[in-house]
Structure 1
Amino acid sequence: MQRILGVLGGMGPLASAQFMVRLTLLTPAERDQDHVPAVLWSDPRIPDRSAARLAGGEDPLPALLHGLRGLEAAGAGAIAIPCNTAHGWFDEMQAATSLPILHIVDAAAAELARLGVRAGPIGVMGTTGTLAMRLYQDRLADRGYECLVPEPEEMARQVTPAIGLVKANRVAEAYGPLAEVAAALMARGARAVVLGCTEIPLGIAAGPALPFPVASTIDALARVSIDWARG
Protein backbone atom coordinates (compact mmCIF):
# COMPACT_ATOMS: atom_id res chain seq x y z
CA MET A 1 0.00 0.00 0.00
CA GLN A 2 1.26 3.47 -0.87
CA ARG A 3 2.17 5.82 1.94
CA ILE A 4 -0.34 8.62 2.61
CA LEU A 5 1.07 12.11 3.22
CA GLY A 6 -0.74 14.33 5.70
CA VAL A 7 -0.51 18.06 4.96
CA LEU A 8 -1.20 20.40 7.88
CA GLY A 9 -2.09 23.62 6.11
CA GLY A 10 -4.20 26.74 5.97
CA MET A 11 -1.24 28.92 7.05
CA GLY A 12 -2.04 30.48 4.63
CA PRO A 13 -4.60 28.79 2.39
CA LEU A 14 -2.99 29.85 -0.91
CA ALA A 15 0.43 28.55 0.16
CA SER A 16 -1.12 25.21 1.11
CA ALA A 17 -2.91 24.98 -2.23
CA GLN A 18 0.32 25.80 -4.05
CA PHE A 19 2.11 23.12 -2.07
CA MET A 20 -0.38 20.56 -3.37
CA VAL A 21 0.18 21.85 -6.93
CA ARG A 22 3.95 21.58 -6.60
CA LEU A 23 3.70 18.16 -4.91
CA THR A 24 1.84 17.03 -8.00
CA LEU A 25 4.03 18.71 -10.62
CA LEU A 26 7.32 17.60 -9.06
CA THR A 27 6.27 13.94 -8.83
CA PRO A 28 7.64 11.78 -11.66
CA ALA A 29 4.38 10.29 -12.90
CA GLU A 30 2.79 8.87 -16.03
CA ARG A 31 -0.70 8.30 -14.62
CA ASP A 32 -2.91 9.14 -11.64
CA GLN A 33 -1.76 6.10 -9.71
CA ASP A 34 1.89 7.26 -9.78
CA HIS A 35 1.15 10.33 -7.66
CA VAL A 36 1.46 10.76 -3.89
CA PRO A 37 -1.69 9.93 -1.88
CA ALA A 38 -2.24 12.98 0.32
CA VAL A 39 -4.76 14.46 2.72
CA LEU A 40 -4.79 18.27 3.09
CA TRP A 41 -6.05 19.71 6.37
CA SER A 42 -6.39 23.40 5.48
CA ASP A 43 -7.57 25.35 8.51
CA PRO A 44 -7.16 29.13 8.16
CA ARG A 45 -8.59 29.56 11.68
CA ILE A 46 -5.25 28.57 13.22
CA PRO A 47 -4.11 31.66 15.20
CA ASP A 48 -1.35 33.82 13.75
CA ARG A 49 2.03 32.29 14.53
CA SER A 50 4.13 35.48 14.53
CA ALA A 51 1.61 37.29 16.73
CA ALA A 52 1.70 34.40 19.20
CA ARG A 53 5.49 34.48 19.50
CA LEU A 54 6.09 38.23 19.36
CA ALA A 55 2.99 39.96 20.68
CA GLY A 56 1.36 37.61 23.17
CA GLY A 57 -1.27 36.49 20.67
CA GLU A 58 -3.39 33.36 20.93
CA ASP A 59 -1.40 30.12 21.11
CA PRO A 60 -1.76 28.18 17.83
CA LEU A 61 -0.61 24.88 19.35
CA PRO A 62 -4.09 23.54 20.26
CA ALA A 63 -5.29 24.12 16.69
CA LEU A 64 -2.12 22.59 15.25
CA LEU A 65 -2.58 19.48 17.42
CA HIS A 66 -6.23 19.28 16.38
CA GLY A 67 -5.09 19.21 12.75
CA LEU A 68 -2.55 16.52 13.53
CA ARG A 69 -5.26 14.37 15.11
CA GLY A 70 -7.42 14.78 12.02
CA LEU A 71 -4.58 13.71 9.76
CA GLU A 72 -3.79 10.73 11.98
CA ALA A 73 -7.43 9.66 11.78
CA ALA A 74 -7.31 10.02 7.98
CA GLY A 75 -4.51 7.47 7.80
CA ALA A 76 -1.51 9.73 7.22
CA GLY A 77 1.92 8.15 7.62
CA ALA A 78 3.91 11.39 7.82
CA ILE A 79 3.16 15.09 8.18
CA ALA A 80 4.27 18.02 6.02
CA ILE A 81 3.55 21.55 7.25
CA PRO A 82 3.82 24.17 4.47
CA CYS A 83 4.24 27.02 6.96
CA ASN A 84 7.69 27.95 8.22
CA THR A 85 6.64 29.88 11.33
CA ALA A 86 4.52 26.95 12.57
CA HIS A 87 7.80 25.06 12.99
CA GLY A 88 8.39 27.16 16.08
CA TRP A 89 6.10 24.57 17.69
CA PHE A 90 7.81 21.62 15.97
CA ASP A 91 9.06 19.94 19.14
CA GLU A 92 5.64 20.09 20.81
CA MET A 93 3.93 18.73 17.70
CA GLN A 94 6.45 15.94 17.21
CA ALA A 95 6.12 14.95 20.87
CA ALA A 96 2.35 14.67 20.41
CA THR A 97 2.40 12.25 17.46
CA SER A 98 4.18 9.05 16.53
CA LEU A 99 4.16 10.15 12.88
CA PRO A 100 7.34 11.73 11.49
CA ILE A 101 7.01 15.44 10.77
CA LEU A 102 9.13 16.49 7.78
CA HIS A 103 10.98 19.59 8.99
CA ILE A 104 10.81 22.43 6.47
CA VAL A 105 14.25 23.83 7.42
CA ASP A 106 15.87 20.45 6.77
CA ALA A 107 14.02 20.41 3.45
CA ALA A 108 15.42 23.85 2.64
CA ALA A 109 18.93 22.60 3.40
CA ALA A 110 18.40 19.71 0.98
CA GLU A 111 17.17 22.18 -1.64
CA LEU A 112 20.26 24.37 -1.16
CA ALA A 113 22.46 21.30 -1.65
CA ARG A 114 20.49 20.43 -4.79
CA LEU A 115 21.27 23.94 -6.06
CA GLY A 116 24.97 23.36 -5.36
CA VAL A 117 25.13 25.63 -2.30
CA ARG A 118 26.40 23.40 0.52
CA ALA A 119 27.83 25.96 2.97
CA GLY A 120 28.68 29.63 3.36
CA PRO A 121 26.53 32.74 3.58
CA ILE A 122 22.92 32.49 2.44
CA GLY A 123 20.04 34.93 2.59
CA VAL A 124 16.91 33.94 4.50
CA MET A 125 13.62 35.75 4.02
CA GLY A 126 10.69 34.93 6.27
CA THR A 127 8.15 36.27 8.72
CA THR A 128 9.23 38.29 11.72
CA GLY A 129 8.31 35.27 13.86
CA THR A 130 10.43 32.82 11.87
CA LEU A 131 13.46 35.09 12.00
CA ALA A 132 13.00 36.03 15.66
CA MET A 133 12.77 32.36 16.64
CA ARG A 134 15.99 31.73 14.68
CA LEU A 135 14.47 28.67 13.03
CA TYR A 136 16.96 28.91 10.16
CA GLN A 137 19.93 30.59 11.82
CA ASP A 138 20.34 27.94 14.53
CA ARG A 139 19.34 24.82 12.58
CA LEU A 140 21.51 25.61 9.54
CA ALA A 141 24.59 26.73 11.48
CA ASP A 142 25.47 23.09 12.16
CA ARG A 143 25.46 22.50 8.40
CA GLY A 144 27.98 25.27 7.73
CA TYR A 145 25.59 27.99 6.61
CA GLU A 146 25.71 31.59 7.79
CA CYS A 147 22.26 33.15 7.55
CA LEU A 148 21.93 36.74 6.41
CA VAL A 149 18.48 38.18 7.13
CA PRO A 150 16.75 41.39 6.03
CA GLU A 151 17.31 44.56 8.01
CA PRO A 152 14.47 45.59 10.36
CA GLU A 153 13.42 48.41 8.04
CA GLU A 154 13.33 46.00 5.09
CA MET A 155 11.10 43.69 7.10
CA ALA A 156 8.76 46.50 8.12
CA ARG A 157 8.63 48.28 4.77
CA GLN A 158 8.85 45.43 2.27
CA VAL A 159 8.83 41.80 3.45
CA THR A 160 6.00 41.83 6.00
CA PRO A 161 3.66 43.93 3.80
CA ALA A 162 4.43 41.69 0.81
CA ILE A 163 3.55 38.55 2.78
CA GLY A 164 0.29 40.26 3.70
CA LEU A 165 -0.40 41.02 0.04
CA VAL A 166 -0.09 37.32 -0.84
CA LYS A 167 -2.41 36.39 2.02
CA ALA A 168 -4.90 38.94 0.64
CA ASN A 169 -4.67 37.34 -2.86
CA ARG A 170 -2.85 40.41 -4.26
CA VAL A 171 0.05 38.24 -5.35
CA ALA A 172 1.41 40.29 -8.25
CA GLU A 173 1.89 43.34 -6.02
CA ALA A 174 4.19 41.35 -3.74
CA TYR A 175 6.84 40.70 -6.39
CA GLY A 176 8.61 44.07 -6.41
CA PRO A 177 9.38 44.45 -2.70
CA LEU A 178 10.32 40.78 -2.30
CA ALA A 179 12.64 40.82 -5.32
CA GLU A 180 14.34 43.98 -4.02
CA VAL A 181 15.07 42.45 -0.61
CA ALA A 182 16.32 39.21 -2.16
CA ALA A 183 18.70 41.20 -4.37
CA ALA A 184 19.89 43.19 -1.34
CA LEU A 185 20.76 39.96 0.48
CA MET A 186 22.77 38.79 -2.52
CA ALA A 187 24.57 42.15 -2.59
CA ARG A 188 25.53 41.58 1.06
CA GLY A 189 27.33 38.36 0.10
CA ALA A 190 24.69 35.62 0.05
CA ARG A 191 25.27 32.72 -2.34
CA ALA A 192 21.55 31.97 -2.56
CA VAL A 193 18.32 33.15 -0.95
CA VAL A 194 15.96 30.86 0.95
CA LEU A 195 12.33 31.90 0.57
CA GLY A 196 11.60 30.91 4.17
CA CYS A 197 7.92 31.79 4.26
CA THR A 198 5.60 29.83 2.01
CA GLU A 199 3.87 33.02 0.83
CA ILE A 200 7.15 34.41 -0.53
CA PRO A 201 7.61 31.89 -3.39
CA LEU A 202 4.15 32.84 -4.66
CA GLY A 203 5.11 36.51 -4.75
CA ILE A 204 8.45 35.80 -6.42
CA ALA A 205 6.75 33.59 -9.03
CA ALA A 206 4.51 36.51 -10.03
CA GLY A 207 7.33 38.33 -11.84
CA PRO A 208 10.51 37.69 -13.83
CA ALA A 209 12.79 34.93 -12.58
CA LEU A 210 15.50 36.22 -10.27
CA PRO A 211 19.05 36.05 -11.68
CA PHE A 212 20.49 34.11 -8.72
CA PRO A 213 19.71 30.86 -6.89
CA VAL A 214 16.58 30.84 -4.74
CA ALA A 215 15.35 27.95 -2.61
CA SER A 216 11.56 27.82 -2.43
CA THR A 217 10.45 26.16 0.78
CA ILE A 218 7.26 25.06 -0.97
CA ASP A 219 9.26 23.12 -3.56
CA ALA A 220 11.77 21.95 -0.94
CA LEU A 221 9.06 20.47 1.27
CA ALA A 222 7.33 18.93 -1.75
CA ARG A 223 10.56 17.19 -2.81
CA VAL A 224 11.22 15.63 0.59
CA SER A 225 7.56 14.62 0.79
CA ILE A 226 7.87 12.81 -2.53
CA ASP A 227 11.05 11.11 -1.33
CA TRP A 228 9.25 9.97 1.84
CA ALA A 229 6.25 8.69 -0.11
CA ARG A 230 8.51 6.68 -2.41
CA GLY A 231 10.30 5.12 0.54
Structure 2
Amino acid sequence: MNETTTAARVLGVLGGMGPLASAQFMVRLTLLTPAERDQDHIPAVLWSDPRVPDRTAARLAGGEDPLPWLVRGLRGLEAAGCGAVAIPCNTAHGWYDAMRAATRLPILHIVDAAAAELRRQGIAGGPVGVMGTAGTLAMRLYQERLESLGYACLVPDEEEMRRLVTPGIAAVKANQVAAAYAPLAEAARALAARGARAVVLGCTEIPLGIAAGPALPFPVVDTIDALARAAIAWARGG
Protein backbone atom coordinates (compact mmCIF):
# COMPACT_ATOMS: atom_id res chain seq x y z
CA MET A 1 0.00 0.00 0.00
CA ASN A 2 1.56 3.29 -1.05
CA GLU A 3 1.73 6.44 1.06
CA THR A 4 -1.13 8.15 -0.78
CA THR A 5 -3.45 5.19 -0.30
CA THR A 6 -2.53 4.94 3.36
CA ALA A 7 -3.29 8.63 3.94
CA ALA A 8 -6.67 8.24 2.26
CA ARG A 9 -7.59 5.52 4.77
CA VAL A 10 -7.00 7.49 7.95
CA LEU A 11 -10.32 7.66 9.77
CA GLY A 12 -11.44 10.90 11.35
CA VAL A 13 -13.69 10.63 14.40
CA LEU A 14 -15.73 13.72 15.21
CA GLY A 15 -16.46 13.18 18.87
CA GLY A 16 -16.96 14.65 22.29
CA MET A 17 -20.75 14.24 22.04
CA GLY A 18 -20.41 12.82 24.64
CA PRO A 19 -16.81 12.09 25.53
CA LEU A 20 -17.46 8.62 26.96
CA ALA A 21 -19.30 7.52 23.82
CA SER A 22 -16.38 8.72 21.68
CA ALA A 23 -13.90 6.84 23.84
CA GLN A 24 -16.04 3.70 23.62
CA PHE A 25 -16.18 4.06 19.84
CA MET A 26 -12.38 4.00 19.71
CA VAL A 27 -12.33 0.91 21.94
CA ARG A 28 -14.86 -0.91 19.78
CA LEU A 29 -13.15 0.17 16.54
CA THR A 30 -10.00 -1.46 17.89
CA LEU A 31 -11.64 -4.63 19.23
CA LEU A 32 -13.77 -5.26 16.12
CA THR A 33 -10.85 -4.85 13.70
CA PRO A 34 -9.37 -8.19 12.63
CA ALA A 35 -5.74 -7.70 13.65
CA GLU A 36 -2.73 -9.59 14.93
CA ARG A 37 -0.36 -6.64 15.48
CA ASP A 38 -0.42 -2.86 15.86
CA GLN A 39 0.12 -2.31 12.15
CA ASP A 40 -3.06 -4.20 11.26
CA HIS A 41 -5.24 -1.59 12.97
CA ILE A 42 -6.90 1.45 11.41
CA PRO A 43 -5.11 4.79 11.61
CA ALA A 44 -7.56 7.17 13.28
CA VAL A 45 -7.66 10.72 14.59
CA LEU A 46 -10.16 11.48 17.38
CA TRP A 47 -11.38 15.06 17.62
CA SER A 48 -13.16 15.01 20.98
CA ASP A 49 -14.62 18.43 21.73
CA PRO A 50 -17.27 18.39 24.46
CA ARG A 51 -17.85 22.12 23.98
CA VAL A 52 -20.16 21.42 21.03
CA PRO A 53 -23.54 22.90 22.05
CA ASP A 54 -26.27 20.46 23.03
CA ARG A 55 -27.87 19.10 19.86
CA THR A 56 -31.30 18.37 21.34
CA ALA A 57 -31.51 21.82 22.91
CA ALA A 58 -30.56 23.39 19.60
CA ARG A 59 -33.27 21.50 17.71
CA LEU A 60 -36.11 21.60 20.23
CA ALA A 61 -35.52 24.64 22.43
CA GLY A 62 -33.78 27.25 20.31
CA GLY A 63 -30.36 26.54 21.85
CA GLU A 64 -27.03 27.49 20.35
CA ASP A 65 -26.39 26.11 16.87
CA PRO A 66 -23.80 23.31 17.02
CA LEU A 67 -22.97 23.49 13.31
CA PRO A 68 -20.05 25.96 13.58
CA TRP A 69 -18.45 23.70 16.19
CA LEU A 70 -19.07 20.61 14.07
CA VAL A 71 -17.51 22.28 11.04
CA ARG A 72 -14.53 23.36 13.17
CA GLY A 73 -13.96 19.72 14.04
CA LEU A 74 -14.27 18.68 10.41
CA ARG A 75 -11.64 21.27 9.46
CA GLY A 76 -9.31 19.83 12.09
CA LEU A 77 -9.79 16.32 10.73
CA GLU A 78 -9.19 17.54 7.19
CA ALA A 79 -5.96 19.17 8.31
CA ALA A 80 -4.90 15.93 10.00
CA GLY A 81 -5.11 14.10 6.67
CA CYS A 82 -8.20 12.02 7.30
CA GLY A 83 -9.98 10.35 4.41
CA ALA A 84 -13.46 9.95 5.91
CA VAL A 85 -15.33 10.87 9.08
CA ALA A 86 -17.35 8.86 11.58
CA ILE A 87 -19.50 10.72 14.11
CA PRO A 88 -20.37 8.64 17.21
CA CYS A 89 -23.31 10.89 18.08
CA ASN A 90 -26.72 10.18 16.61
CA THR A 91 -28.32 13.57 17.19
CA ALA A 92 -25.47 15.36 15.43
CA HIS A 93 -26.65 13.65 12.25
CA GLY A 94 -29.50 16.14 12.19
CA TRP A 95 -26.85 18.44 10.65
CA TYR A 96 -25.56 15.74 8.30
CA ASP A 97 -26.41 17.52 5.05
CA ALA A 98 -24.92 20.80 6.27
CA MET A 99 -21.75 19.02 7.38
CA ARG A 100 -21.45 17.24 4.05
CA ALA A 101 -21.74 20.56 2.27
CA ALA A 102 -18.97 21.98 4.45
CA THR A 103 -16.33 19.30 3.89
CA ARG A 104 -14.72 17.38 1.07
CA LEU A 105 -14.58 14.28 3.28
CA PRO A 106 -17.21 11.55 3.07
CA ILE A 107 -19.16 11.16 6.32
CA LEU A 108 -20.31 7.68 7.30
CA HIS A 109 -23.97 7.89 8.30
CA ILE A 110 -24.75 6.20 11.60
CA VAL A 111 -28.34 5.32 10.61
CA ASP A 112 -27.13 3.56 7.47
CA ALA A 113 -24.67 1.69 9.69
CA ALA A 114 -27.52 0.69 12.02
CA ALA A 115 -29.57 -0.56 9.06
CA ALA A 116 -26.63 -2.66 7.92
CA GLU A 117 -26.37 -4.10 11.43
CA LEU A 118 -30.07 -5.02 11.42
CA ARG A 119 -29.52 -6.91 8.18
CA ARG A 120 -26.37 -8.55 9.60
CA GLN A 121 -28.48 -9.85 12.47
CA GLY A 122 -31.01 -11.26 10.01
CA ILE A 123 -33.72 -8.66 10.62
CA ALA A 124 -34.68 -7.55 7.13
CA GLY A 125 -37.99 -5.82 7.85
CA GLY A 126 -40.93 -5.54 10.19
CA PRO A 127 -41.31 -3.49 13.36
CA VAL A 128 -38.17 -2.37 15.17
CA GLY A 129 -37.87 -0.22 18.25
CA VAL A 130 -35.80 2.95 18.18
CA MET A 131 -34.48 4.59 21.32
CA GLY A 132 -32.70 7.94 21.17
CA THR A 133 -32.61 11.48 22.44
CA ALA A 134 -35.73 13.57 22.13
CA GLY A 135 -33.93 15.51 19.40
CA THR A 136 -33.06 12.43 17.37
CA LEU A 137 -36.62 11.12 17.52
CA ALA A 138 -38.19 14.54 16.80
CA MET A 139 -35.99 14.92 13.71
CA ARG A 140 -37.08 11.42 12.61
CA LEU A 141 -33.50 10.55 11.74
CA TYR A 142 -34.18 6.85 12.15
CA GLN A 143 -37.85 6.71 11.27
CA GLU A 144 -37.48 8.17 7.77
CA ARG A 145 -34.37 6.23 6.79
CA LEU A 146 -35.48 2.89 8.21
CA GLU A 147 -39.07 3.17 6.97
CA SER A 148 -37.69 3.67 3.45
CA LEU A 149 -35.99 0.28 3.88
CA GLY A 150 -39.16 -1.52 4.94
CA TYR A 151 -38.95 -1.22 8.73
CA ALA A 152 -41.83 0.08 10.83
CA CYS A 153 -40.40 2.10 13.72
CA LEU A 154 -41.74 1.98 17.26
CA VAL A 155 -40.49 4.71 19.60
CA PRO A 156 -40.93 5.39 23.32
CA ASP A 157 -43.95 7.50 24.23
CA GLU A 158 -43.60 10.86 25.95
CA GLU A 159 -43.92 9.40 29.43
CA GLU A 160 -41.24 6.77 28.71
CA MET A 161 -38.95 9.43 27.33
CA ARG A 162 -39.45 11.67 30.37
CA ARG A 163 -39.18 8.92 32.99
CA LEU A 164 -36.75 6.45 31.44
CA VAL A 165 -34.83 7.34 28.30
CA THR A 166 -33.81 10.94 28.92
CA PRO A 167 -32.73 10.28 32.53
CA GLY A 168 -30.82 7.19 31.40
CA ILE A 169 -28.89 9.13 28.78
CA ALA A 170 -28.21 11.90 31.29
CA ALA A 171 -26.84 9.35 33.78
CA VAL A 172 -24.28 8.10 31.26
CA LYS A 173 -23.22 11.65 30.42
CA ALA A 174 -22.71 12.20 34.16
CA ASN A 175 -20.49 9.06 34.34
CA GLN A 176 -23.18 7.24 36.35
CA VAL A 177 -23.25 4.36 33.90
CA ALA A 178 -24.53 1.66 36.28
CA ALA A 179 -27.51 3.84 37.24
CA ALA A 180 -28.49 4.12 33.58
CA TYR A 181 -29.18 0.42 33.11
CA ALA A 182 -32.55 0.06 34.82
CA PRO A 183 -34.40 2.91 33.08
CA LEU A 184 -32.91 2.21 29.65
CA ALA A 185 -33.56 -1.53 29.89
CA GLU A 186 -37.15 -0.88 30.97
CA ALA A 187 -37.70 1.36 27.93
CA ALA A 188 -36.21 -1.26 25.61
CA ARG A 189 -38.38 -4.00 27.09
CA ALA A 190 -41.47 -1.85 26.59
CA LEU A 191 -40.69 -1.56 22.89
CA ALA A 192 -40.16 -5.30 22.60
CA ALA A 193 -43.47 -5.88 24.37
CA ARG A 194 -45.17 -3.71 21.74
CA GLY A 195 -43.87 -6.00 19.01
CA ALA A 196 -40.38 -4.75 18.12
CA ARG A 197 -38.27 -7.54 16.62
CA ALA A 198 -35.14 -5.67 17.66
CA VAL A 199 -34.36 -2.42 19.44
CA VAL A 200 -31.97 0.10 17.90
CA LEU A 201 -29.98 1.92 20.59
CA GLY A 202 -30.03 5.15 18.63
CA CYS A 203 -28.03 7.29 21.04
CA THR A 204 -24.40 6.40 21.63
CA GLU A 205 -24.85 6.77 25.39
CA ILE A 206 -27.56 4.11 25.47
CA PRO A 207 -25.36 1.08 24.62
CA LEU A 208 -23.06 2.05 27.49
CA GLY A 209 -25.98 2.00 29.92
CA ILE A 210 -27.41 -1.24 28.53
CA ALA A 211 -23.99 -2.92 28.80
CA ALA A 212 -23.90 -2.15 32.53
CA GLY A 213 -26.43 -4.86 33.38
CA PRO A 214 -27.74 -8.26 32.22
CA ALA A 215 -28.10 -8.78 28.48
CA LEU A 216 -31.57 -8.13 27.13
CA PRO A 217 -33.50 -11.19 25.85
CA PHE A 218 -34.03 -9.82 22.33
CA PRO A 219 -31.80 -8.42 19.57
CA VAL A 220 -30.42 -4.94 19.99
CA VAL A 221 -28.41 -2.77 17.62
CA ASP A 222 -25.52 -1.02 19.34
CA THR A 223 -24.96 2.02 17.13
CA ILE A 224 -21.39 2.42 18.42
CA ASP A 225 -20.57 -1.06 17.15
CA ALA A 226 -22.55 -0.51 13.95
CA LEU A 227 -20.61 2.65 13.14
CA ALA A 228 -17.33 0.96 14.02
CA ARG A 229 -18.13 -1.87 11.59
CA ALA A 230 -18.94 0.67 8.88
CA ALA A 231 -15.65 2.43 9.54
CA ILE A 232 -13.74 -0.85 9.32
CA ALA A 233 -15.45 -1.66 6.00
CA TRP A 234 -14.50 1.79 4.69
CA ALA A 235 -10.89 1.44 5.85
CA ARG A 236 -10.63 -1.95 4.18
CA GLY A 237 -11.82 -0.48 0.91
CA GLY A 238 -15.53 -1.31 1.20
Normalised by the length of structure 1, the TM-score is 0.99
| Residue of structure 2 equivalent to 1:20 | 26
Q: Which residue of 2 aligns with 1:75?
A: 81
Tell me the residue number matched to 2:96: 90
Q: Indicate whether 1:198 and 2:204 are aligned.
A: yes
1 CA distance for matches of 2:208 and 2:64?
Answer: 27
Shift in Å, 1:96 = 0.9
Q: Does 1:11 align with 2:20?
A: no
SS of the aligned residue for 1:130 comes to helix
**Matched residue, 1:31:** 37
Give the number of aligned pairs: 231
CA distance in 2 between counterparts of 1:31 and 1:120 reads 41
Q: How does 1:114-193 map onto structure 2 within 5 Å?
A: 114-193=120-199
**1:81-133 CA-partner distances (Å, limit 9, x unpaired):** 00000000000000111111000000000000011101110000000000000
Give distance in 2, aligned partners of 1:127 and 1:196: 8
| Equivalent position SS for 1:122 | strand
State the distance in 1 between where 2:215 and 2:32 align.
Answer: 19
Q: CA separation in 2, counterparts of 1:85 and 1:94?
A: 15
Question: What is the aligned partner in structure 2 of residue 49 from structure 1?
Answer: 55
- Residue 37 of structure 1 aligns to which amino acid in structure 2? P
| Amino acid corresponding to residue 225 of structure 1 in structure 2 | A
Residue 229 of structure 1 corresponds to: 235
Output the TM-score relative to the length of structure 2. Answer: 0.96
Q: Which runs of 5+ in 2 are unaligned?
A: none
In structure 2, C-alpha distance between the alignment counterparts of 1:25 and 1:73, rounded to whole Å = 27
The match for 2:223 is: 217
Q: Which runs of 4+ in 1 moved over 3 A?
A: none
Distance in 2 separating the partners of 1:120 and 1:210: 20
Counterpart residue number, 2:107: 101
Tell me the alpha carbon deviations over residues 46-98 of structure 1, each in whole angstroms, 9 at most, x when there is no partner: 00000000000000000000000000000000000000000000000001111
Q: Distance in 2 between matches of 1:187 and 1:204?
A: 17
How well do the aligned residues superpose, as a CA RMSD in angstroms? 0.5
Q: Which amino acid aligns with 2:170?
A: G
Letter in 2 for 1:101: I
Identity %: 81
SS of 1:169's equivalent in the other structure is: coil
Find the residue that maps to 1:29 and give its secondary structure: coil
Secondary structure, aligned partner of 2:93: helix
